A and B are shown apart, each in its own frame.
Chain A
Amino acid sequence: MIQAQNISYSIGGTQILTDISVRLCAGEFVAVLGSNGAGKTTLLKSLAGELTPEASCLQIEGRNYSQWTMHELALKRAVLSQNIDVSFRFQVMDIVLMGRYVHSHGYDGARDYEVAELALRHTDAYQFKDRIFNTLSGGEKQRVQLARVLAQIWNSDEKNAARYLFLDEPTSSLDIEHQYGMMTFIKRFAKKNVGVFCVLHDVNLAATFADRIALMKNGRILAQGPTESVIQSDLIEKTYGIAVKVHRGKEFQKPFIVPVYEEV
């Protein structure tokens, strides 16, 4: 479990996170929603151990981040950031194999190739495996980068030890088919004892797949809890500042929202 209590973070006098407490358990899918600049990415970086915010408690598996070596952490958690560009003309397969470096010494082994291929298949990017990464489209790059991140924590040495996956807007360049495909797979991946912490912009995507949702505004958590309890029109309105209508019903699998706006 990753546990954070009373995190605050500021850069040069600007308060970015204020008194946030969250936890992420292995096996669950937590989505974070909020308007631009609400502090979602900073929260993700803090929980992933990349930043060191002020906190009364910030631990992964009961130990502070400073007590982990970078190698140990890399086996425990993977991060897909918003930067998906790669310098130099690497092949797609090379990129995905980089996710396996932490597992191998010297050259990539048979197991590393096996995992890299599986990860590429699950993100529907296997067909590009011999292409030069920089020649792919934005959405294709995003799928390959996801495959790399998945390959990193695919199977830990112990059978199904707890692992954590941080995704910062993983669907931002994807078409609707791949958005749902990716989320379905990530949800399935979470079931293998992986805690998923995912920043999203699409409320309906979050409502469809997340076990729990956290709503952020101005560096604070506005509400967090099981998806059903958070997808409420007043909470969404407070978060984004626009009126929405929440639809629920037997004919829909999950609640979904529709913005209410004046006819132009």
Chain B
Amino acid sequence: MYVVKRRKLVILNSVFTVFLLVVALLAIGVGPMSATPMEVISILLEKIGFSLAQFTAAQESVILNIRLPRILAAVLVGASLSSSGAALQGLFRNPLVDPGLIGISSGAALAVASMIVFGRPLIDMLPEAMGLYVLAGIGFLGGMLATLIVIKIANFSGRILVSNLLLSGIAIQAVTFAGIGLLQFLGDDQQLRMITFWMLGSLGGAMWSSTGVLGILVMISTIYIIRDSKQLNLLALGEREASHLGLDIERLKKRIIFFVTLSVGASVSVSGSIGFIGLVVPHLVRLMFGADHRFLIPISVFVGAILLLLSDMMARTVVAPAELPIGVITSLIGGPFFIMLILRNKKIF
């Protein structure tokens, strides 16, 4: 009986890994410069000395320098948002929580909007790529700062009160959105467009260097979040009950918030804020595989990555050669899908 669960997780992880690889392979080939999966594999293998099929130099260049970092960024951002969403829902014991709620995304958005409106001369001075880095860095710092404020407010003589965390998160979100609104009012047309585009999210800015940093931060955070799965299970019994079972709740809260902030902060600064993935994916996985966080979090990583890959593929192709903001797609599909889940299973929590 007991081996069954562990084996089930291993099987599920393998199945989803294959599924993710297949979707990624398809996604790399889709776009104005298309390539068949076989060609994609050849291009990748060529790098380590195997040659299979023929491909053009232009294909190689586009796929290695533009598509591949973008696809990896989609996988990382999707994984980061959905695993963080699952962990935060567990921590708050509330299925309505999404990673934006503790201020990360809104803080990042406010910082980036301020930079776009007031820091324009600085960005213009730098080469274009550098400008993007500066924006990403500022976004990361802004997200961290907002979350730090939220935590400070919720801190009650050394204990983080979860209900206060939620409420102060909502308050900070309101304040930052007001700030962003003010900046949109102050900014010129081009700045307005930049802010809007950033807030709706896009993976268009993904480059090898930024994806590399994102990869390191997301992987470290996700490993630590997965390691806390059992502890999050205990928390479902209630905070007191979990502490009777030997869990140091305050340390768990701090750990989860730290790694979620790191992971989502990095994601948001690369892609802008992308809605709904962090909320919907954990629900979907819970519905399929139950509430045990030892399943929920790792599988959310895969499902989030796959869904964001597909959304990004749509964002790139639906109005080609232009691009839709990916946040529009995730919310446009995620919203009705979520409503359908609620209607079909009245009790999804």
| Residues of chain A at the chain B interface (Cβ within 8 Å) | 48, 50, 70-71, 73-75, 77-79, 81, 83, 85-91, 94-95, 98-99, 101-102, 107-110, 112-113, 134, 148, 152
Contacts and interface: CB of A to CB of B under 8 A. Distances in A.
A89 B2 contact: no
26 contacts: A48-B244, A70-B243, A70-B247, A77-B244, A79-B240, A79-B244, A81-B238, A83-B241, A86-B237, A87-B349, A89-B286, A89-B347, A90-B233, A94-B233, A94-B292, A98-B233, A98-B245, A101-B245, A107-B5, A107-B294, A108-B5, A109-B2, A110-B2, A112-B2, A113-B2, A148-B237
Given A73-B246, A74-B245, A79-B244, 8 more contacts: A50-B243, A70-B243, A81-B241, A86-B238, A87-B93, A90-B236, A91-B290, A98-B234
B250 to A, nearest CB: 11
A70 B246 CA distance: 5
Contacts of A48: 244
Nearest to B92: A87
Interface of B: 1-2, 5-6, 90, 93-95, 230, 233-234, 236-238, 240-241, 243-248, 286, 290-292, 294, 347, 349
Contacts of B94: 87
* Of listed B5, B244, B347, residue having the most chain A CB within 10 A: B244
Given A89-B286, A108-B2, A110-B2, A78 B234 contact: no
Contacts of B349: 87-89
Nearest to A74: B246
* Of listed B1, B95, B349, residue having the most chain A CB within 10 A: B1
Contacts of A109: 2
Contacts of B233: 90, 94, 98, 101
A48 B6 CA distance: 34
Contact of B291 (A74, A88, A112, A113): A88
A98 B292 CA distance: 11
A88 B286 CA distance: 9
B3 to A, nearest CB: 8
Contacts of B290: 89-91, 94
A129 B20 CA distance: 34
A152 B93 CA distance: 22
A117 B207 CA distance: 53
A141 to B, nearest CB: 12
B16 to A, nearest CB: 19
A77 B245 CA distance: 9
Contacts of A70: 243, 246-248
B37 to A, nearest CB: 36
A169 B1 CA distance: 33
A101 B234 contact: yes
B59 to A, nearest CB: 45
A112 B1 CA distance: 11
* Of listed A88, A94, A108, residue having the most chain B CB within 10 A: A88
A89 B5 CA distance: 17
A137 to B, nearest CB: 15
Nearest to B294: A107
B240 A71 contact: no
B253 to A, nearest CB: 15
Contacts of B236: 86-88, 90
A88 B349 CA distance: 5
Given A109-B2, A110-B2, A89 B291 contact: yes
A37 to B, nearest CB: 19
A91 to B, nearest CB: 7
Contacts of B90: 88
Contacts of A112: 2
Contacts of B234: 98, 101
A50 B233 CA distance: 20
B232 to A, nearest CB: 10
A164 to B, nearest CB: 11
Contacts of B244: 48, 50, 74, 77-79, 81
A108 B234 CA distance: 14
Nearest to A75: B246
A83 B240 contact: yes
A171 to B, nearest CB: 18
B153 to A, nearest CB: 21
